[in-house]
Structure 1
Amino acid sequence: MPQQVTAELRRWIVEQARAGRGAEAIVQSMQASGWDEAVAMAALEDVLRGHLDEQARAQGLPPARAVPAPDLAESPLYLDGGDRRVAVLGAMAAPRIVLLGSLLSDAECEALIAAARPRLARSLTVATRTGGQEVNADRTSRGMFFRRGESELVARLEARIARLVHWPVERGEGLQVLHYEPGAEYKPHYDYFDPDASGTPSILRRGGQRVATLVMYLSEPEQGGGTLFPDVFLEVAPKRGNAVFFSYERPHPSTRTLHGGAPVLAGEKWIATKWLREREFN
């Protein structure tokens, strides 16, 4: 018989979360009571998402949006990327963060770096006051953008990403490649566009809000350069070929997706970033 998620179980999960118990401990308790691990994890994620939505409505937060997501319902060790098998190295439910292994091959990493290198310029950030772009002292890398589908390599990686996170290629911005030399960093920030900023409406006309980010590591610095998530005390090591995916269902700090690129202390770091929008990006 399939295991049913009852109202009593939902209340218990919410009580455990309010008491400060982590997701792993809650799932282990459910398993000890006879629950299948995959069912327990899916129930936990569903209940916590619903609980957070109720809290958000009570606090007057922006409504939640549908977001991209790898299918982790059955706790897979690998995901089907179409032309490549991608490892699942770790996952967090709230915020939704998924660590992916071997998303790119060494040859693909080298090819992206080689194609991007001649086009590098000082990295800019979106200026939500005006809807344009600007130099930001918090971001000291150099970078460039590929047009969506610009080359066979770019198109292949975009198709792989779309398959992994179940989000159409058309809803992705162009792939950005960034280069960080020693001392370069990107201080903690959010990737969604501030809904209260005057320039945001013009930005949203091109495809709506950003709803997810994928950071892919193309090289390995000798020291430093990790991706930090200060709200949840997580640091992702910049291992070549690996990636970190995270989504944010509303443009608000309650998503706990504050993140940044730690300073490179030795060597250099190359990454590729893919931002996903709620609608077709053009």
Structure 2
Amino acid sequence: MHEQLITPELRQWIIEQSSAGHSVESVLSAMKASGWHEDTALTALENTLKEHAWPLMQAGQPLPEPALASGATALWAHDREVRVLVSMARPRVLVLGGLLSAQECQEMVELARPRLARSETVINATGGSEVNVARTSEGMFFARAENELCQRIEARIAALVNWPIERGEGLQILRYGPGAEYKPHYDYFDPSQPGTPTILRRGGQRVATLVTYLNTPQAGGATVFPDIGLEVSAVAGNAVFFSYALPHPMTQTLHGGAPVMDGEKWVATKWLREQRFE
């Protein structure tokens, strides 16, 4: 396959199309129709828009990423070996086995249970939060390093994805009862919404998510990625990690929690930010 070069002229054309109000999807379609390979077109769009269309993102900033050698089946994460079950490059998705022990899962559930309340979602217009019918779980947040278990897990995650502990939000614990779900959504904060600048002052954009399953439901409760046809079963101790270089649907990180059909599902979610999270 002939290599296609991303020239200054192409970058300028992308900027002009974006400034004229054309969507990323339409620009990508136009590039493909003109003969650009999809991978090259996506790289050009990501790099150019990161620098020009979304100044809230730091141009060229690395993303959280495990030091994963080609074909590796396991990673050492601070104090524990973690198995690599699935590895995808675009979008960047990893399914990991044994991130937490059975004892750690149970301890996390018991620490969180007394503090559960109906889960809320971010209000894009203000930067606040509210109960939303799309999210029918109960949840709570641990402050970062709130207790010894949180400290241990946070250190493990930081080592796993090569991202400083202080650039992570506190662990959020969620419980989904029978029928509960979280409809497909993105984890980044939409730059077009008026409440986003308020949210970003606490640590910049979210750039990656790690969801760890604290139990195994009897049926249902998978994490689904509709854009790529991926379904990750909820298995106690396992986790799914995904990163997103831009706050835009082109990252293909649309995901949701499928309804729990039998039993309940407990998860611990860790969101990683560009900068120190306060």
TM-score range, shorter chain: 0.7 to 0.9
Contact 2:134 2:182 in 1 (8 A): yes
Of residues 213, 220, 223, the one that matches 2:219 is: 223
Q: TM-score, normalization: structure 1?
A: 0.81
User: Does residue 262 of structure 1 match 2:258?
Assistant: yes
> Which of 168, 179, 197 is matched with 1:201 structurally?
197
Please, what TM-score do these two structures have when normalized by structure 2? Answer: 0.82
Match of 1:54 in 2: 44
- The answer to whether 1:183 aligns with 2:183 is no
Contiguous gaps of at least 5 residues in structure 2: 6-36
Match of residue 112, structure 1, among 108, 112, 126: 108
Is 2:4–2:40's contact at 8 Å kept on the other side of the alignment? no
Correspondence 1:46-195 to 2 at 5 A: 51-56=41-46, 57=48, 62=54, 65-195=61-191
The corresponding residue for 1:272 is: 268
Check the 8 A contact 1:87/1:102 in 2, yes or no.
yes
Q: Which amino acid aligns with 1:78?
A: A
| Corresponding residue pairs, total | 241
Q: Quick check: 1:120–1:142 contact (8 Å CA) kept in 2? A: yes
SS of the counterpart of 1:202? Answer: helix
Considering only aligned residues, what root-mean-square deviation do their CA atoms show, in Å? 2.0
User: Which of 231, 240, 243 does residue 239 from structure 2 map onto?
Assistant: 243
Q: CA deviation at 1:55?
A: 3.0
Moved more, 202-211 or 73-82: 73-82
What amino acid does structure 1 have at the position aligned with 2:243?
A: S
Residue 51 of structure 1: CA displacement?
4.4
3-state SS, counterpart of residue 162 of structure 1 = helix
Deviation at 1:134, TM superposition (A): 0.7
Aligned-pair CA distance for 1:75: 2.5
C-alpha separation in 1, matches of 2:76 and 2:38: 27
Q: Is the Cα–Cα contact under 8 Å of residues 128 and 200 in structure 1 kept in the other structure?
A: yes
**Percent identity between the two aligned chains:** 59
Give the drift of 1:53: 2.7
Deviation at 1:145, TM superposition (A): 0.3
Q: CA deviation at 1:128?
A: 1.6
Could you tell me how far 1:219 is from its partner in structure 2?
A: 0.5
Note the C-alpha offset of 1:155: 0.3
Specify whether residues 79 and 9 from structure 1 end up closer, same or farther in structure 2 by C-alpha distance, changes over 3 A only: farther
Instruction: Give the Cα–Cα distance (whole angstroms) in 2 for the partners of residues 177 and 9 of structure 1.
Output: 48
